[in-house]
Amino acid sequence: MDFLTLIQILDSAVRLATPLLLACLAGLFSERAGIFDIGLEGKMLAAAFLSAAVAAATGNVWLGMFAGIGVSIALALLHGVASITFRGDQLISGVAINFLAAGLTVVIGQSWFGLGGRTPSLMGAGRFANLEWPLAGVLKDIPVAGPLYAELISGHTLLVYVALAAVPLSWYVLFRTRFGLRLRAVGENPAAVDTAGISVTRQRYSAVVICGVLCGLAGAYLATGLAAGFVKDMTAGRGFVALAALIFAKWRPWHAMGATMLFGLLEAIGNRYQNIEVSGFVVPVQFMQALPYILTVVILAGFVGKAIPPRAGGEPYVKER
């Protein structure tokens, strides 16, 4: 494998890791506040659909992105109403949201565009353009560092950089601000937060909304950055992979980046080498497709040490008994 191939694979890994990273951070905020969210997948899917649909209709990717974020927040609030206000089962609510998104995107997509659940292909201003960094063209010919700069660092869409910037930002918000301290506290011991006179409900709703915004960005990136339009079930389990990455990262932002990059790299390798030959035995293409899912199980099986979730995760908070 030559250097340029390596750069291309890494480049593709960064692109493929971006939606995972955004979704993983989304899950991080929600779960740190004690709200388990199986519905990342559905929120991403709904956001992908609406952002592509609006971008196709208006030709403006920004409007698409905001529409995507909007629908993702709406679903996040639904999850909040079910799991915070009505103290329902968070797993069941998440599953319902996944099905809701899977069904509605096709039903509405067929009614709007009549393309069997797809949106029209996005062109021009309907997609996020790749940002060329300064001097990328000039520096390209320098050995090693040139392609590294021109291909790997420069030339991604804006949302890739947003996702990368979200990592230190999330760390700062969660671990260096009062808001973050309270958010983590409601995930560990909501009664203590309540005793201190801070509203658990409000804190958890804020976390859920942040989760919605990040899932919306992830979905918008899928449909308008990574691909050119929406296709049925295009998230393909990424929401669940992001959750596994979150456990792998033990609910920490920087580790989340590492974990999602690993998954992105695997997907990139799987995409590039459809048939790998290992000492005369050809690894079937189906195995490469299933690899991210298999790896998710392997990681969850705890080959990474003990992962301890936020203590109050998944439990509705009852103020008085």
Partner 1 sequence: MQKLPKWADVVLIPVINLLLAFLISGLVILAIGKDPVVAIKTMVQGSFGDTRAWGYTLYYATNFMFTGLAVAVAFHARMFNIGGEGQATLGGLGVALVALSIDWPHWALALPAAMIGGAVFGAAWAFIPAYLQAKRGSHVVITTIMFNYISASLLGYLLVNVLKEKGNMAAETPSFPPGASLPTFSEMLEPLGIAFNKNAPANVSFLIAVLACYLVWVLIWRTRLGFAIRAYGHSETAARYAGISPTKIIIVSMLISGALAGLMAINNVMGESERLILNSVEGAGFIGIAVALMGRSHPLGVFLASLLFGFLYQGGAELALWESIPRELVVVIQALVILFTGALDNMVRAPVEKLFLSFRRRAA
The number of angstroms, rounded, from the C-alpha of 244 to the middle of its chain's C-alpha atoms is: 12
Nearer to partner 1, 107 or 169 (CB): 107
**Shortest CB 75 distance to partner 1, Å:** 11
Token readout for 77 is 């609030």
User: DSSP 3-state assignment of 281?
Assistant: strand
To the nearest 10 degrees (0 to 180), the angle between helices 178-188 and 200-221 is: 100
Nearest residue (CB) to partner 1, 97 versus 217 = 97
Minimum CB–partner distance for residue 309 and partner 1 (Å): 9
**What is the torsional sign of CA 104, 107, 111, 117?**
positive
Cα gap 90→186, rounded to integer Å: 16
- Pick the closer one to partner 1 by CB: 148 or 200: 200
Sign of the Cα torsion 291, 294, 299, 303 reads negative
User: Rounded distance, CA 6 to CA 9, Å?
Assistant: 5
- Nearest approach in angstroms of CB 218 to partner 1 is 18
Contact assessment for residue 42 and residue 212, using Cβ atoms and an 8 Å cutoff: no
Closest distance between partner 1 and the C-beta of residue 248, in Å? 11
In the complex with partner 1, the residue whose CB is nearer, 164 or 307, is 307
To the nearest whole angstrom, how small is the minimum distance from the Cβ of residue 38 to partner 1? 6
Tokens of 33: 């506040």
Tell me whether residue 228 is exposed, middle or buried, using C-beta atoms within 10 angstroms of its C-beta: 0 to 12, 13 to 18, 19 or more.
Answer: middle
Which residues are bridge partners to 130 per DSSP? 157
**Nearer of residues 91 and 164 to partner 1, judged by Cβ:** 91
- Helix or strand or coil: residue 183? helix
**Whose structure tokens read 């995760």?**
313
CB of 286 to partner 1, least distance (A): 4
CB of 290 to partner 1, least distance (A): 4
Using the minimum distance from each CB to partner 1, give the nearer residue, 150 or 244. 244
150 DSSP 8-state letter? I
| Closest CB to partner 1 among residues 38, 54 | 38
Contacting positions for partner 1 (CB under 8 A): 38, 78, 81-83, 86-93, 95-100, 102-104, 106-108, 110-111, 117, 237, 240, 243-244, 247, 284, 286-287, 289-290, 293-294, 296-297, 300-302
Minimum Å gap between C-beta 295 and partner 1 is 9
Cβ nearer to partner 1, comparing 102 with 198 = 102
Report the candidate in 70, 54, 83, 67 with the shortest Cα–Cα distance to residue 230: 54
Measured distance CA(13)–CA(21) in Å, rounded: 12
